[in-house]
Amino acid sequence: MRFPKWPAGVAALLAAAMLQSACGSKAAAPASGGPPPGPTEVAVVALQPERLVLTTQLPGRTTAYLTAEIRPQVNGIVQNRLFQEGTLVEQGATLYRIDPAPYQAAVAQAKASVATAEADLVTAQANLPSLKSRAARYGDLVAIHAIGQQDYDDARSALDQANAMVEARKAAIVAARAALESAQINLAYTPIKAPIKGRIGKSNITVGSLATAYQPTPLAVIQQIDPIYVDVVQANADLLRLRKNMETGRLRGDADQRKVKLLLEDGSAYPIDGVLQFRDVTVDSTTGAVTLRIVFRNPREILLPGMFVRAVVEEGVREQAILVPMQAVLRDPKGQPYSWVVGADGKVERRALDLERTIGSRWLVIKGLGPDDRVIVEGVDKVRAGAPVRAVPFQGNLGGPNV
């Protein structure tokens, strides 16, 4: 048999390729009789209990501390508006002035009625002494039959009528004085004054318009916003959980528990802490939540009524809290949380967990882990229950500080 005759260069290349393939096969062959692999190396974090102040963020809105709707208490034409819209007005400052002329006339008329009634009383009282004397004299005379009984009866009747007239004049004076007081009150209502100190909004009436007493539309609205309320809502289920934790001793009340921090709508923190004033005693039937009212000082008027905010409310203090990094918490197919723990014998143990909430980059553990437990943070995909491992302290970043 005859083989093809290759050029010298091609034959050299083929020989080199066959030699390289043979060397690679020998290098890929496993060495026999070598030492067995050692335990898997994992990074662990040793858990230590710590004092933890538990807080919760609750959504809410700001509400004016005081609100006064300005309405007229008498009818009349508005003569003046004495404020600038959007400015701060002092308590007692005159805001509007209603034409006082009709009410001034009513006061003058009422004063005249009082004077007339008082003069009538003086006249009625002037006749009383003579009538009393006459009735007494006629009484003595009728006793000795010097005059008839009819004359005595007429004298007594005149005295009784005079006494009744005096009482009527006194009643007329009371009525006239009451009418005068009413007229003076109405006159005093013609300047409409601010009942509270605060910032006044736009005016709903112009000069020359008719104002009606107790009209449904306010002339303007004044709002006191320093201090200011923040009303937030909290689920009733959360309140029940907090009460249970307090009763069982998991949480302890703190001296500053009534202090509340505030986050504005853009995420920035409000610089002044507020004070929790009260929790409502009624659960909203539609939302299952209760309202919490918090008071904040607002000297720079950063907070305006109607703003959306988040209140950071302190729930209590947990003295021996166990926090585990998020990297160490896994979920089984049913969604139940668990962690791998390295025991004292260096073997891996699986622990089912009961978690409450996240605290920054860590989970707050209620059950399943304790002090000095070494949880696996790195290498969790390479371990199995009961397998020995070589645990080394975790040196990386656990995801940021707690908040």
Which sign, positive or negative, has the C-alpha torsion 239, 240, 243, 249? negative
pLDDT at 12: 47
pLDDT tens digit sequence for 41-70: 999 999 999 988 888 888 999 999 999 999
Q: Tell me the pLDDT band of 116, cut-offs 50, 70 and 90.
A: very high
Task: Please report which confidence band the pLDDT of residue 164 belongs to, taking 50, 70 and 90 as the band edges.
Answer: confident
Q: Is the pLDDT of residue 241 over 90?
A: no
pLDDT confidence of residue 238: 74
**Pick the residue with more confidence: 312 or 37?**
312
Of the chain, the percentage scoring pLDDT greater than 70 comes to: 85
Q: Give the Cα-Cα-Cα angle 65, 66, 68 (nearest 5 degrees).
A: 155
Q: Which residues pair with 317 in a beta bridge?
A: 53, 252
| pLDDT per residue as tens digits for the range 348-395 | 999 999 998 888 889 999 899 999 999 999 988 888 899 999 999 998
pLDDT for 62:
95
DSSP letter assigned to residue 351? E
What is the average per-residue pLDDT within 11-29? Answer: 46
Q: Which fold has domain 42-53+320-393?
A: 2.40.420
- Are 80 and 206 in contact by the 8 Å Cβ rule? The answer is no
Mean pLDDT of 282-298: 85
The phi-psi region of residue 301 (left if phi > 0; otherwise alpha if psi is between -120 and 50; otherwise beta) is left
Model pLDDT, residue 9: 47
Query: What is the per-residue pLDDT across 294-343, written as a single tens digit (0 to 9) for each?
Result: 999 999 999 999 999 999 888 778 888 999 999 999 999 999 999 999 99
Q: What pLDDT is attached to residue 56?
A: 83
Structure token pair of residue 22 = 């043979």
- Report pLDDT for 250: 56
What value does the mean pLDDT take over residues 145-170?
80
Mean pLDDT score of the chain, rounded to an integer? 84
Q: 103 falls in which pLDDT band (50, 70, 90)?
A: very high
Question: Where residue 262 falls among pLDDT bands split at 50, 70, 90?
Answer: very high
- Going by pLDDT thresholds of 50, 70 and 90, the confidence category of residue 23 is very low
Measured distance between the N- and C-terminal CA atoms of the chain, rounded to whole angstroms: 86
- The superfamily (CATH) of domain 100-188 is Helix hairpin bin (1.10.287.470)
pLDDT at 304: 93
401 vs 106 pLDDT, higher one: 106
Tell me what the mean pLDDT of segment 152-170 comes to: 81
Percentage of the chain exceeding pLDDT 90: 52
Cα separation, 137 vs 133, in Å, equals: 6
Confidence at residue 401, expressed as pLDDT on a 0 to 100 scale: 44
Tell me the whole-structure pTM to 2 decimals: 0.66
Give the pLDDT band of residue 79 (cuts 50, 70, 90): very high
354 burial via Cβ count (<10 Å: 0-12, 13-18, 19+) = exposed
Which of 334, 336, 339, 328 lies closest to 368 in space, CA to CA? 339
Q: How far apart are CA 285 and CA 168, in angstroms?
A: 61
> For the domain with range 72-98+190-217, which CATH number is right: 2.70.70.10, 3.30.1330.10, 2.40.50.100, 3.40.50.150?
2.40.50.100
- What local confidence, expressed as pLDDT, does residue 196 receive? 95
Domain locations along the chain: 42-53+320-393, 57-65+224-315, 72-98+190-217, 100-188
74: helix, strand or coil: coil
Mean pLDDT of 164-168: 85
CATH class of 57-65+224-315: mainly beta
